[in-house]
Amino acid sequence: MPLAASYQYPANQAIAAIFNEIADLLEVEEANPFRVRAYRNAARMVEGMTEGVDAMLARGADLTALPGVGVDLSAKMREIVETGSCAMLTRVRTEVPSYVLQLLQLPGLGPKRARALQHELGITSLDELARAAAAHRIRELHGFGARSELRLLETLKARLARDRRYGLATAKPCADALTHYLLASGLVDQLVVAGSYRRGRDTVGDLDLLITGRKRAQIVEHLVHYNEVATRISAGPTRASVVLKNGMQVDLRVVRPDAFGAALVYSTGSKAHNIALRKLAQTQGLKINEYGVFRGKERIAGQTEASVYRAVGLPWICPELREDHGEIAAAQSGLLPSLLEQSDIKGDLHVHTSASDGTASLEAMAAQARLLGYQYLAVTDHSPRIAVTHGLTADRLAAQADAIDRFNAEHKGWPVLLKGVEVDILEDGSLDLPDSVLGRLDLVVGAIHSHFSLPVDQQTSRILRALDHPHFSILAHPLGRLIGERNACNVDLKRVLTAIAQRGCYVEANAQPTRLDLSDIGCRLAKAEGVLVSIASDAHSPADLMNLPLGVTQARRAWLGQADVLNAHALDTLLPLLKRTM
């Protein structure tokens, strides 16, 4: 299941999907490539927006003000919002059969060759393609040969999909193991996992490795022989692509040390950021590629990333910001944000103990928080409704609160334990514990754990009603998504955040690797609405507390600074913030 970045804006998702399909179809028709690109650019831009296009239209906004959107595309966007479809798409669909799009999904098949297969051999399905390949009919086509035919067969057999993305929980162990393998070869001087992994995106499509080392061909060879490699896609003297046994693609590039910075900019992306950077260079009579910055034939920068940015008059831009979301303009005018650092985090406001579904005692969790240098740790075990978590009844919660008071009294100099709960928001928006019980706590974290597929109006009012409870503090994992498993629930996040701001409440950026909820886009919206974000590990064990930096990364991608984050506050300023204003 591909995860669109716009998961919380169904209208934007629909527009992006339609624009991307139109682009695919136009490409098969051999339309002007720049026209194709216009559709793809607009699709990508729409996915990264922090507002639904439907909401923009409702407030009368001018869509042509959006970058890459002119009169034509704005009209199509409006059409898609109003009708759910687009006449242009319907038209090109009749001109290009749907199975050609299926062919396009196969690695190695682009518009030209997909079209040839359809036209010359009358291929109308992947099954027919497999049969034609087995009968050696493909190799007879102009532009194809025995090798292309064999590769198509292998691809079909492996059912390789091209647009899969993986959560960081999958990608990180994979990247760590591969890094270890390559470093152990002794051939590698420098190694960076670049790409969306380095930019800290919540999901990554592949791993982009950038390496320096003297024996370049040997390094490529070493990767190809990694025992987790399932398929070799390509391998030249300086770069290679392979697919691992778990399906993840790895692209490796080996460069000379004096070009490392330029190559790192290139490999880190994003593509949109690189294009914007290269356009800026052009206006200054310069050219940027992965080998450096050039004025004519003269190379004027490239050893470090900073030298590349400096050559076009910019300060270094940190990877999390490189999404062409205004960072280049900000850098030009000296307005790059001062981003949140992990060291700004003063505590964690969402953790579990063995009293509910955690694995460790209060003491063990506190000890780990102490090692991390935290000032405070909020204990937020589950409420009774979710039976599998052994949630706390009112009586057990009161007993835990007493235990926390005793712990704090006996552990001076340790992180202060805050009395909290993760209370279930029931289907009708009421809470799973009475207000009288919640009133004794330092904070109340509320979350939905069931009925994820309510219609958007119902889901939104459910959460708004929960926020009306007088002791509600923080809305945890607001969208309920599990990366690769469960889509975000359909909720009007902007309305929810507006309500949160009015009530003096907060929203959580849950740092569990499978959740990352809110992720970057949601955090940007929270900042725009003036809502402080609680970056929380939702730890169920001491080790889980160390997941919090994943949330910090999402916050940085959203341009958040120390002032935007609830748990970047010291204990003495945090406590007053947790008192509801209304």
Partner DNA sequence: GCCGTTTTCGGCCCGACTGTTTTCAGTCG
List contacts with DNA (CB under 7 A).
32, 34-35, 37-39, 42, 64, 67-74, 88, 106-114, 139, 142-149, 151, 162, 206, 208, 234-239, 241, 249, 251, 271, 274-275, 278-279, 281-282, 287-291
Q: CA-based angle 216:219:183, to the nearest 5?
A: 125
Nearer to DNA, 44 or 556 (CB): 44
- What is the distance between the alpha carbons of residues 6 and 19, in angstroms, rounded to a whole number? 14
- Eight-class DSSP state of 143: T
What distance lies between CA 162 and its chain's CA centroid? 18
Smaller CB separation from DNA, 118 or 541: 118
Which sign, positive or negative, has the C-alpha torsion 517, 523, 525, 529? Answer: positive
Q: How far is the CB of 560 from DNA (least distance, A)?
A: 28
Question: What SS3 state is found at 432?
Answer: coil
> To the nearest 10°, the Cα dihedral for 457, 460, 465, 466?
150
> Of 378, 404, 398, nearest to 534 (Cα)?
378
Q: How far is the CB of 315 from DNA (least distance, A)?
A: 21
Smallest separation, CB 76 to DNA (Å): 8
Q: Taking the complex as a whole, how short is the minimal distance between the CB of residue 184 and DNA, in angstroms?
A: 23
Query: What are the tokens at 162?
Result: 């091209």
Name which of 82 and 435 has its Cβ closer to DNA.
82
Q: How far apart are CA 346 and CA 89, in angstroms?
A: 51
- Residue placing its CB nearer to DNA in the complex, 271 or 580: 271
| Residue number, 280 or 475, with CB nearest to DNA | 280
**Which token pair is 13?**
């998702």
Q: How far is the CB of 35 from DNA (least distance, A)?
A: 4
Q: What token pair was written down for 437?
A: 């019980």
Nearest of 413, 405, 406, 403 to residue 367 by alpha carbon: 413
Q: Which is nearer to DNA, 56 or 423 (CB)?
A: 56
Give the shortest CB-308-to-DNA separation in angstroms. 13
The least distance separating DNA from the CB of residue 101, rounded to whole angstroms, comes to 12
* Residue number, 142 or 159, with CB nearest to DNA: 142
Pairing label, strands 206-212, 249-255: parallel
CB of 330 to DNA, least distance (A): 17
Instruction: Report whether 568 contacts 340 (CB < 8 A).
Output: yes
Q: Choose between 305 and 564: whose C-beta lies nearer to DNA.
A: 305
> Which single residue is written with the structure tokens 């590629």?
289
Q: What are phi and psi of 211, to 5 degrees?
A: -135, 145
| Cα 413 → chain centroid | 38
